[in-house]
Amino acid sequence: MTSKIIAIDGPAGAGKSTVARGLAEQLGFTYLDSGALYRAVTWYLLSGGPKRPPGPSDARALAARQAQTESFISTASDEDLARSLDCLTIRMKDGRISVGDLDVTEIIRDLTVTRLVSMVSERRPVREKLMALQRAFANGNIVVEGRDMGTVVFPGAFLKIYLDANVAIRAGRRYQELGDSGVSTDYDEVYENLRMRDDRDTQRQIAPLSRAPDAVYVDTTYISPDEVVGLIRKLVATRARSLYRRWQNFFYQSTWLFLRALTSAYLRRRASGTDHPDRLPGPVIFASNHMSHLDPILVAVSTRRHLHFLAKRELAEIPIFGQVIHWLHIIPVRRGILDRDALDWVRSVLASGEAVLIFPEGTRSRDGTIHDAKAGFGKLVYESGAPTIPVRIIGSYQSFPPGALWPRPTPVRIQFGEPIQFRNDPNLPRSSDLREVYEYIGRTVMDRIRDLRDPAGPVESP
Ligand code: DC
């Protein structure tokens, strides 16, 4: 069996270490924090390198050597720098890192090390030395994290993730981490250091921080490390079954063609505004009103985007039928609008740039009118950051009312509205009470669905 490498890259404070460590633990993989290697080199240079064998070093001693080390790093030739690293040996074991015989796990988090590490990591001899070390480390299933794991060190990684978050949130996390580990500092300094490192890490000539084209982008601003781990685990499971995925897509496409033709002929289905979803690349949430069992089919066959749907878990447990609906991208949900597992699925679908159909009302309307959105819907939209396309279904209640055994051949119409991007919405409440934000999102989406009452623009034949 070939070993799997999961590469996680991203800027400082995006949550890479917590996520990578948690993921490795849950999957039983080894964990490599490549940033710690760059920090170890920096500490080694700060503490005197080969000239002065590394000894116990406290924060004050490091600070006293900052200017001298900075000048060495910026002026030394590649040959001199490579020579000064000749005797450096770094080992990692059980989450501890040592340089020579000295355990440096804690001291490499010191602020003086943090100030110089980006500068050190720009130098070619440093990167070359560490590249070999990192590759030697990956001799089994491993989660690696850093800046260039997916782009340079492990370009063939089984799964690549790019974690990102808003800079103020990242600085807040780093500040908290330092405080928790007893390092006293102030927030502004942490914020400035982070910005400076972002610039250096993304603009350097060798192996700059960047997202590999095949990396899945995950914004961690609004989701917890546990949730990110859940999402990545789903991605691992999906990736492991890529052949299965091809079959799944083929099955979806064939069913789509058949039901598209059937609904057009039998229900005289008409769709309008289809340009909105069909031309929108990347993750998208379709939010539709819900009145009948026909609705998921009606929306799905009216757009060229492959949709993922939520359905009651009991359906997925019916033999054969459960399998078939799984091939049709159905995500089983336990109860209420979104259980945790289902939420991870939805996030992994969106993070992979795919589309999901959600009925914000949570359940079918019993009287054919449009009801309010459940709070969980607003939360999902807010956290995912994905654009939302409002969808209005007209006529499916008349065609297939509750209690009917078979749809009647009455006309149905599906209208797609313009995508809503809440992250850019100036009216989004700035309240610290997120429930207000979720309610606003739910209300706005339901209003936009109601506004689609009159068909806008020409009606398109399927
Ligand atoms: O993840 P961290 O903050 O501990 O990383 C410290 C620095 O190391 C970071 O600012 C850039 C550098 N680094 C790198 O250049 N390449 C990596 N793969 C990992 C870290």
In a domain, 459, yes or no: no
pLDDT at 461 over 50: no
Do 193 and 322 lie in one domain? The reply is no
Structure tokens at 212: 């590999």
> Position of tokens 């450096």?
88
Q: How far is the CA of 146 from the centre of ligand 1 (A)?
A: 6
In a domain, 460, yes or no: no
Reported as a pLDDT band with limits 50, 70 and 90, residue 52 is low
If you compute the radius of gyration of the chain from its CA atoms, what whole number of angstroms results?
27
Reported as a pLDDT band with limits 50, 70 and 90, residue 459 is very low
9 lines ligand 1 (CB under 6 A): no
Task: Give the orientation angle of helix 111-121 with respect to helix 124-137, to 10 degrees.
Answer: 100
Q: Which atom of ligand 1 is the closest one to the Cα of 122?
A: 15
146 lines ligand 1 (CB under 6 A): yes
Which residue's alpha carbon is at the smallest distance from atom 16 of ligand 1?
A: 147
- 202: number of Cβ within 10 Å: 12
Do 117 and 150 lie in one domain? The reply is yes
The string of DSSP codes covering 211-275 is --TTPEEEE-SSS-HHHHHHHHHHHHHHHTTHHHHHHHHHHHHHHHHHHHHHHHHHS--EEE-TH
pLDDT at 337 over 70: no
Alpha-carbon gap, residue 47 to 38, rounded angstroms = 14
Q: How far is the CA of 419 from the centre of ligand 1 (A)?
A: 37
Do 195 and 309 lie in one domain? The reply is no
Do 203 and 292 lie in one domain? The reply is no
35 lines ligand 1 (CB under 6 A): yes
Do 367 and 223 lie in one domain? The reply is no
Do 234 and 252 lie in one domain? The reply is no
Which residue's alpha carbon is at the smallest distance from atom 10 of ligand 1?
A: 118
Q: How far is the CA of 8 from the centre of ligand 1 (A)?
A: 12
147 lines ligand 1 (CB under 6 A): yes
Contact 228, 220 (CB under 8 A): yes
Do 135 and 180 lie in one domain? The reply is yes
Q: How far is the CA of 195 from the centre of ligand 1 (A)?
A: 13
Classify strands 5-9 and 159-164 as parallel, antiparallel or unpaired.
parallel
39 lines ligand 1 (CB under 6 A): yes
Which residue's alpha carbon is at the smallest distance from atom 11 of ligand 1?
A: 118
In a domain, 119, yes or no: yes
Q: How far is the CA of 201 from the centre of ligand 1 (A)?
A: 8
pLDDT for 241 equals 66
Percent of the chain at pLDDT above 70?
Answer: 93
Q: How far is the CA of 196 from the centre of ligand 1 (A)?
A: 13
Do 296 and 250 lie in one domain? The reply is yes
The enclosing domain of 114 has a CATH number of 3.40.50.300
Which residue's alpha carbon is at the smallest distance from atom 14 of ligand 1?
A: 147
pLDDT for 132 equals 85
**In sequence order, what are the residues at sequence separation of 6 or more whose Cβ sits closer than 8 angstroms to the Cβ of residue 294?**
263, 267, 396, 399, 400, 407, 412
Site to substitute for ligand 1 among 32, 116, 121, most atoms within 8 A of C-beta: 121
Do 227 and 258 lie in one domain? The reply is no
148 lines ligand 1 (CB under 6 A): yes
In a domain, 24, yes or no: yes
Residue range of the domain that includes 70: 5-239
Which residue's alpha carbon is at the smallest distance from atom 1 of ligand 1?
A: 35
In a domain, 456, yes or no: no
Q: What is the pLDDT of residues 353-370, one digit of tens each?
A: 789 999 999 889 988 899
pLDDT at 14 over 70: yes
Mean pLDDT across 193-209: 89
201 lines ligand 1 (CB under 6 A): yes
**In sequence order, what are the residues at sequence separation of 6 or more whose Cβ sits closer than 8 angstroms to the Cβ of residue 391?**
286, 287, 288, 289, 299, 357, 414, 415, 416, 417, 449, 452
Q: Which atom of ligand 1 is the closest one to the Cα of 121?
A: 15
pLDDT for 432 equals 79
Q: What is the pLDDT of residues 61-80, one digit of tens each?
A: 888 889 999 999 999 999 99
Please name which of 302, 320, 322 lies closest in space to residue 256, comparing C-alpha atoms.
302
pLDDT for 154 equals 87
Structure tokens at 18: 């917590």
173 lines ligand 1 (CB under 6 A): no
Q: Please identify, among 193, 220, 239, the residue that sits at the C-terminal boundary of a domain.
A: 239
pLDDT for 460 equals 38
Q: How far is the CA of 180 from the centre of ligand 1 (A)?
A: 21
Do 140 and 269 lie in one domain? The reply is no
Q: Please identify, among 176, 205, 239, the residue that sits at the C-terminal boundary of a domain.
A: 239
Comparing 178-187, 293-302, 440-449, the range with the smallest average pLDDT is 178-187
Q: Which atom of ligand 1 is the closest one to the Cα of 118?
A: 10
In a domain, 113, yes or no: yes
Q: Which atom of ligand 1 is the closest one to the Cα of 201?
A: 11
Number of independent structural domains in the chain: 2
Reported as a pLDDT band with limits 50, 70 and 90, residue 455 is low
**In sequence order, what are the residues at sequence separation of 6 or more whose Cβ sits closer than 8 angstroms to the Cβ of residue 68?**
none
Q: Please identify, among 213, 239, 265, the residue that sits at the C-terminal boundary of a domain.
A: 239
Q: How far is the CA of 349 from the centre of ligand 1 (A)?
A: 29
Contact 288, 389 (CB under 8 A): no
Q: How far is the CA of 117 from the centre of ligand 1 (A)?
A: 7
Please name which of 131, 133, 158 lies closest in space to residue 143, comparing C-alpha atoms.
158
pLDDT for 116 equals 95
Do 165 and 283 lie in one domain? The reply is no
In a domain, 256, yes or no: yes
Site to substitute for ligand 1 among 34, 73, 107, 205, most atoms within 8 A of C-beta: 34
- 173: number of Cβ within 10 Å: 20
pLDDT for 70 equals 95
Do 167 and 275 lie in one domain? The reply is no
pLDDT at 319 over 90: no
Comparing 90-94, 289-293, 325-329, 387-391, the range with the smallest average pLDDT is 325-329
No. of H helices and E strands in the chain?
19, 15
Q: Which atom of ligand 1 is the closest one to the Cα of 200?
A: 10
In a domain, 457, yes or no: no
Q: Which atom of ligand 1 is the closest one to the Cα of 204?
A: 15
The enclosing domain of 342 has a CATH number of 3.40.1130.10
